[in-house]
Amino acid sequence: MKTLYQKYFERIWIRIFLPSVALRPYIIKYMIYENASCHLRDIPFRALPNGYVELFFHLNGSNVHFHEKRSLTRRKCFLAGIFELTYPLKIKVATTDECFRGLSVTFTHKGVNKLLGVPLFALTNRIIDVETFWDSEGHKLIQRLIHSISDEERTRILNRFFLYKLNHEQGVNQNNIQWILDHLEEKTGKITVDEVAHHLDLSYKTLYRKFHDHMGLCPKSYLRILRFNRACRLLNQYPDINWGELVYRCGYYDQPHFIKEFHSIMKESPTQFIKTTGGNFYLNRPYCFR
């Protein structure tokens, strides 16, 4: 299978693969990642939500410790739903050797309904073990991935697994929310809940109900995730971007609004963060190490 791209990011080597053509409406990408220096081990951090549901498989003894509301859970292979930005969840990576290694699958919203067979709200603010979610089928998938000899073979295994799901999974119909989410993904510039409701010819109450019933999130929380991730992507790609352009493209009211939002999430200003990191803080999602 052809690699879409590969790069070195903050001592983490990543490879991105596209799914097979039939799966592209449902899966955005497969990502293989490896950290040879283990510089993240034993350092608690927040993996901020990127607005998508993701599936993670960790290899060679690698796993993740989740610190959530005074409880500690260890997961090796898990499904992660969309979390609210304010949800109190910190993680630590752990390994049995000197390498933290794993792979992830990022689903479209439509893919969650079709390939996983669950509505989005069933996964919101949740981490679910793969074997709990898929029983023996999940165990067999994990074993095949662990014993594969190459990343290309792992992606072929995932393609076969999800093509089977595509043809045999009944899926969940969430058309009532899907077209709204598609619209928000494509929209740039200022975005407010009232403007979205007006553009879609819906009342605020109807839009709120649709989000609550189908996503387990209010529309304001989801728009906040979208805005912040767009800002992080732009800062990562263009550290010298004009603040006015960033504010406009991401939908913030003004520059003070963006700076206040960034500081409340990352615990420092965007200028300070870029100065200390060069903007390199985006690997599939923004991370906060405070």
pLDDT, tens digit, for every residue of 105-141? 999 999 999 999 999 999 999 999 999 999 999 999 9
Cα first-last separation, the chain: 38
Buried b (16+ CB within 10 A) or exposed e, 246-256: bbebbbbeeee
Percentage of the chain surpassing pLDDT 90?
A: 41
Q: Quote the pLDDT of residue 134.
A: 96
Choose among 36, 29, 25: nearest CA to 3: 29
How many domains does one find in the chain?
2
pLDDT for 280: 65
Question: Greater confidence, 62 or 154?
Answer: 154
Mean pLDDT check: name the lowest of 40-44, 196-200, 258-262.
40-44
Do residues 237 and 122 both lie within one domain?
no
pLDDT of residue 81: 96
Go through 10-26 and write b for each residue having 16 or more CB atoms within 10 A of its CB, e for each that does not. Answer: eebebbbbbbbeebeeb
* Domain CATH code at residue 233: 1.10.10.60
* Pair (141, 201) in one structural domain: no
For residue 108, give every residue at least 6 positions away whose Cβ sits within 8 Å of its Cβ, in sequence order, or none.
25, 26, 27, 28, 52
164/195 same-domain check: no
Instruction: Say yes or no: 114 and 146 in one domain.
Output: yes
Residues 215 and 120: beta-carbon distance below 8 Å? yes
Q: Using the 8-state DSSP alphabet, how is residue 120 labeled?
A: G
| The pLDDT of residue 94 is above 90 | no
Average pLDDT, the chain: 86
Higher pLDDT, 61 or 143: 143
164/215 same-domain check:
no
How far apart are alpha carbons 224 and 289 in whole angstroms? 20
> Does residue 41 sit in the same domain as residue 109?
yes
- Residue predicted with more confidence, 190 or 40: 190
Q: Are residues 179 and 241 in the same domain?
A: yes
Q: Give strand ranges (E) for 115-212.
A: 127-129
Neighbours of 82 (CB within 10 A): 25
Picking from 148, 168, 188, the residue at the C-terminal end of a domain is 168
Distance from C-alpha of 240 to C-alpha of 278, rounded to nearest angstrom:
10
Structural domain containing residue 153: 3-168
Residue 40 sits in the same domain as residue 13? yes
